[in-house]
Structure 1
Amino acid sequence: MATALADEIDVLAKAKRAIGGAYISEPDEEYMNEAQQDYFRRLLLAWKKSILDAAAGTLQQLQDGPIREPDLNDRASSETDWGIELRTRDRQRKLIAKIDSAMRRIEEGEYGYCEVTGEPIGLGRLEARPIATMTVEAQEAHERREKVSRDD
């Protein structure tokens, strides 16, 4: 799980570099103004493109042929690596749906605001997790409720 999250962070960092780095806000700037929306739109599109490019590379490797390791241990290791790679790609496929949802929220003027409280999520949180739909506090409360319901 830590590897998949690290991969996701790396792909997001690559997307940020592709669009010229992080957003620098002005001190008296209005929250979710046109410039911020444009930045996050470009970031989300670059992130999605990076994911799709990585998936295409994986697909090409799969089409190149089966694992042909003569040693059983090497073959088992290769198959384990492929399993991890495919799980990572599946996780990223699900991430694309969240990116598309964030793009819709930008178009509808709802991006950057908590779906629970309606408060601004904050640029720092959106910079770290552009698909965030809740403030940190609302997310923590949601996770506590989830944990309690699982423990029951």
Structure 2
Amino acid sequence: MTLTVVNTNTYTKAPSEEYMNPKQVHHFKEKLVHQKAELTLEIERQDNGVKSSAEKHADPLDQAQQVEDMGFNLHERQRKVNHVKAINQALDRISEEDYGWCEECGDEIGLKRLDINPTASMCIHCQSAQEQKDQHRAA
């Protein structure tokens, strides 16, 4: 199971609209709440599936496959849990009226970027710079 939480609901800005007006904030809050609900449900289903498949196999190959499957499922679960955390942080930024603004430079993140990734906390320029720094540290 892959992590694909996509809401095709995109926001179309009117020419005279102010950035991060109440209508836009409401749109993104709804999108985040919807994603969180979907992910939470997926995590619960996955947890129930792991519990129900925790049976002992006599065959060592079956045991090895079960261990591998459980490792994959745990990795996927952790990705979903981390995404829920990012959603909660975005919802906190909405409550604090900081949502939509880059945490590094203070510029607009942009409606298109937020529609694609509503948990984004940095504009594309600052995010790219951060990724380059991370790559240099890893090298």
Give TM-score scaled by structure 2 length.
0.88
> Using the alignment, how far apart are the partners of 2:130 and 2:32 within structure 1?
24
Q: SS in structure 2 opposite 1:91?
A: helix
Shift of the 143–65 alpha-carbon distance from structure 1 to 2, 3 Å rule, reads closer
Q: Which moved more, 1:142-151 or 1:82-91?
A: 142-151
Conservation of the 8 A alpha-carbon contact between 2:50 and 2:70: no
> Using the alignment, how far apart are the partners of 1:25 and 1:76 within structure 2?
53
Indicate yes or no: 2:28 matched with 1:40.
yes
User: What runs of 5+ residues in structure 2 fail to find an aligned partner?
Assistant: none
Percent of pairs identical after alignment?
A: 29
Cα distance per residue 1:61-102 (max 9 Å; x no partner): 122242455654344334322211111111211221111110
Conservation of the 8 A alpha-carbon contact between 1:119 and 1:135: yes
> Using the alignment, how far apart are the partners of 1:66 and 1:74 within structure 2?
12
Deviation at 1:125, TM superposition (A): 0.8
From 101, 104, 114, the equivalent of 2:92 is 104
From 72, 78, 81, the equivalent of 1:84 is 72
Cα RMSD, aligned residues only: 1.9
Conservation of the 8 A alpha-carbon contact between 1:120 and 1:135: yes
Equivalent residue for 1:137?
125
Give TM-score scaled by structure 1 length.
0.81
Equivalent residue for 2:54?
66
Equivalent residue for 1:127?
115
Deviation at 1:35, TM superposition (A): 0.9
> Using the alignment, how far apart are the partners of 2:102 and 2:10 within structure 1?
21
Using CA pairs under 8 Å that are at least 6 residues apart, name the structure with larger relative contact order, 1 or 2.
Answer: 2
Q: Which moved more, 1:104-113 or 1:26-35?
A: 26-35
More helix by share: 1
Indicate yes or no: 2:41 matched with 1:53.
yes
User: What runs of 5+ residues in structure 1 fail to find an aligned partner?
Assistant: none
Deviation at 1:60, TM superposition (A): 1.2
Moved over 3 A (4+): 67-75
Aligned residues: 139
Cα distance per residue 1:5-35 (max 9 Å; x no partner): xx33x1x21xx25xxx222222222111111
Conservation of the 8 A alpha-carbon contact between 2:103 and 2:122: yes
> Using the alignment, how far apart are the partners of 2:78 and 2:104 within structure 1?
28
Q: SS in structure 2 opposite 1:81?
A: helix
